[in-house]
Amino acid sequence: MKILHNPRCSKSRETLRLLEESGKDVEIIEYLKDTPSEEELRKVLALLGIPAEQLVRKNEGIYKENFQGKSLSEAEWIKAMITFPKLIERPVVIDGNRAVIGRPPENVKQLL
């Protein structure tokens, strides 16, 4: 399993704890330090089954200052998340060909 993780986020920490308590091997990807590539982000979106805009954190200052009220294409949203990784909703947990957003953390139980 992989988790796109932000250690400063309580929901991300809770989700990671649930994964670790399950006994699964977990690869932790701190996406603010190791930002996913366009290809990786497209794969995550495909696994989640959502458009890029639904993975964007709309309460972030970066969103409000730069993107609020704008209509961007799929490619533009992906580029925005790569340029500003704080925009990526967290945490995202990936298990093979399945993925969930760990908000609330209990969502990860779908993968366990």
Cis before residue 7, ω within 30 degrees of 0? no
Domain hosting residue 105, numbered range: 2-111
Per DSSP, the three-state class of 12 is: helix
Query: What predicted TM-score, i.e. pTM, was given to this entire model?
Result: 0.93
By annotation, the residues acting in catalysis are: 9
| pLDDT tens-digit readout, 20-75 | 999 989 999 999 999 999 999 999 999 999 999 999 999 999 999 999 999 999 99
User: Which CATH number belongs to the domain containing residue 49 in this structure?
Assistant: 3.40.30.10
- The amino acid at residue 4 is L
Number of domains observed in the structure of the chain: 1
Higher pLDDT, 112 or 47: 47
